[in-house]
Amino acid sequence: MNDVNSSIKSYKIPRSTLVVIHTLKQEVLLIERADRPGYWQSVTGSQDEGETLRETAIREVAEETGIDATQHTLIDWQKQNVYEIYPIWRHRYPPGVTHNTENVFGLTLPDRVPVKLAPREHLQYVWLPVDKAAPLCFSWSNREAILDLPRRLAMMQERAS
């Protein structure tokens, strides 16, 4: 018996999360894409049907780095970026979809932690200071989020005191 559903292509939802993983010392975790060597980024991923954006961020961090975001401070930065999906990745979305809405989160770790990459998705990782991490990112929205990190951390520290 042929399962009809198995032949139906599953498309990504054009809604995603970008999670800037960083230490209190403003060291940022970047990962290199396996399908595009030389393309560095923070954790990103599309929302699955029925998931909240927070759940998407937690799932993607676990899948891509092995880090349990629920054990650290995960903050929704209440920032959205709408961008055109690169043509090389449009086949992953429903026909006619050209733009994605990205929701930015920050994940604060007390210090660097071991990272376990998904080898099919990423080749290597680095921890870098903000000024070195931002220029490596191929995505403008990722660069912008990393450059905003010192301001956001200062605001967090102000609120805590």
Q: Classify residue 101 by burial, with Cβ atoms within 10 Å: 0-12, 13-18, 19+.
A: middle
- Mean pLDDT of each 10-residue bin along the chain, 161 residues long: 54 97 97 94 97 98 98 97 93 96 98 94 97 96 97 87 78
C-alpha neighbours within 13 Å on the C-beta side of residue 48 = 7
pLDDT of amino acid 8:
60
Domains within the chain, CATH numbers bracketed: 14-160 (3.90.79.10)
**pTM reported for the whole predicted model:** 0.91
Question: Strand, helix or coil at 150?
Answer: helix
Q: So what's the pLDDT on residue 126?
A: 98
Give the C-alpha separation, 42 to 21, whole Å. Answer: 7
